[in-house]
Chain A
Amino acid sequence: MEWLTDPFGAEFVRTGALAAAIVGVLCGVVGCYVVMRGMALMADSLAHGVLPGVAIAFVLTAGAAGSEPDEAALWIGALAAGLLTALGTNLVIRRSRVREDTAAGVVFVFMLALGVAIASRIEGYSVDLTSFLFGDVLGVGGDEVLVSALLTVAVLALVALLYRPFLLISFDPQRAAALGLPVDRLHLAMLAIVTLAVVIGFRVVGALLVLGLLIAPAATAALLTKRLPTMMALSAAIAALAAPIGLLASWHLDVAAGPAIVLVAVLAFAAALLLRPAQS
């Protein structure tokens, strides 16, 4: 049993596991909307969209070489940039006649390039860039866990409040509009919630890998369930479990923690694909 408990002897591992599990619950629930509405590319665009905001916040607050950036500024930068990306992508989709994947693709490479360009101004930039892109789960502080937990509770409350409108606009926007729902505003609200999940998840698994936590657990749950409440519960459970399992794997195989967590989530999806009961 020591191989199970040893890694969690260190406080920074326990804190990281807790942070990743919280992020897992959040991304697991919110990711259900991403999967059931086919918004994976939009979510990817949002995930990259946070980069320039984080990079700008870093450059502005880190000051002289070596001094730590302001944590709150990083969060706010990420959130602001993510929301701008959501609005920007939405606007490009509506105003131009390009397909949604093209619009999201253009926006996301722009944000990725902009983020890396700004980050390259930071001294010792490769280290910080790596943590932007792939997360720094073992560097998460206790107060960050608290903020993540509070935001997660707030987002889950919103998801519960908007359960029916979100289900209606996901099922058929036309029917939803005919029922008098403000479909466009609800869609933006959904994008904002995905953005929040991305921002909270980004610290743990990074901008490139947060999509894995959004999509893989939800896709796994979609294979195994047929109702939204059970899909959300299963997806959250899978994503939350991926955190400690991934950290264990990371410890014993000596690989990076964020990618290990995402790999576990994707392996769960592969297992569900292979093992699920045959379709009736």
Chain B
Amino acid sequence: MQTAGAALHAPDSLAVVARSLTVELGGKEALTDLSFELPTGSSVALLGPNGAGKTTLFRAAVGLVQPVSGSIEPGSGPVAFVPQRLELEPSFPATVRDVVRMGRYGELGWLGRFGERDRALVDGAIEELGIAALAERRFGDLSGGERQRALLAQATAQDARLLLLDEPFAGLDAPTNQALRDRIRRWRHEGRTIVVATHDLQSASRDYDLVICLNRRLVAIGPPAEACTEEVLGETFAGRVVRVGELLIDTAHHHHGAG
């Protein structure tokens, strides 16, 4: 998460600060010279085609990959990262409640006592994501949508200041999709910062405070009205965006773009 000599956290008013961030994967540049700041309490759509480096940007932010130059620093407080895929043995020995409880382990450490506040956060998250009836079921027995709810409840229970969600809407059933939208809105109300990687142009231009257009380098960052112009999106998606009446459609991913 930190490069040598740049160990300072971002100030409280900023949730993420990237300075000339360059990341290589397998010898090739995956992110080139990214600089931006995300104000605390904003909801941010991270927009870009497959291979644009959205996941890499998240991984760099939480320290899973080290930049070759530059830096990316989250602000103070815990960070929740919800990766896109979860590969798990179907018989993994954890109930839905166990999975949500894991959200507390970061703060509690190895042996910290599971206290009243932890229990309240876990129960609240389970209630809110509508999975109370599933709480004692084995996580591996759930459907895809139910799993995603459990993982969102885990992130909720984490009580993080910054949430990084990697393609959270991909393949969701309609009720879970709605639950996630509500949850993102509420996170923002609570003053948290949420960054959502997405292909969904409509949602990006409508539902978020800021849009980052990424294609290995920073194409644009700003409020949707500025960042979601036809020109910018054309550059971001390398000409694969077409205008159909009022709608901009990413032709490579229009099957994800509903809603």
Give residues in A with beta carbon < 8 Å to B: 32, 35-38, 161-165, 167-168, 170-172, 174-175, 177-180, 222-223, 225-228, 230-231, 279-280
Contacts and interface: CB of A to CB of B under 8 A. Distances in A.
B99 A171 contact: yes
Contact of A165 (B92, B110, B141): B110
A172 B93 contact: no
Contact of B81 (A168, A174, A223): A174
A171 B137 CA distance: 16
Contacts of A227: 93-95, 98
Contact of B93 (A38, A161, A226): A226
A38 B83 CA distance: 20
Contacts of B64: 174, 177-178
B93 A178 contact: no
B11 interface: no
B133 interface: no
Contacts, number: 77
A59 to B, nearest CB: 41
14 contacts: A32-B93, A35-B91, A36-B91, A171-B94, A172-B88, A174-B59, A174-B81, A175-B102, A177-B63, A177-B64, A178-B63, A226-B94, A227-B95, A228-B98
A171 B92 contact: yes
Interface residues of B, number: 30
A175 B81 contact: yes
Contacts of A172: 83, 86, 88
B81 A178 contact: yes
B246 interface: no
A230 B94 CA distance: 10
A36 B111 CA distance: 22
In terms of DSSP, what is the predominant structure of the interface of chain A? helix
Contact of B110 (A164, A171, A180, A222): A164
A161 B95 contact: no
A101 B91 CA distance: 20
A278 B109 CA distance: 38
A167 B106 contact: no
A174 B106 CA distance: 13
A225 B81 contact: no
A223 to B, nearest CB: 7
Contacts of B99: 171
A36 B89 contact: yes
Contact of B106 (A37, A179, A279): A179
B89 A178 contact: no
Q: Pick from B59, B93, B98 the residue with the most CB of A within 10 Å.
A: B93
A169 B88 CA distance: 11
Given A36-B92, A172-B86, 6 more contacts: A36-B93, A180-B63, A226-B94, A226-B137, A230-B93, A280-B141
B51 to A, nearest CB: 19
B108 interface: yes
A182 to B, nearest CB: 11
B138 interface: yes
Interface in B37-87: 59, 62-64, 78-83, 86
A179 B109 CA distance: 10
A162 B110 contact: yes
A225 B98 CA distance: 13
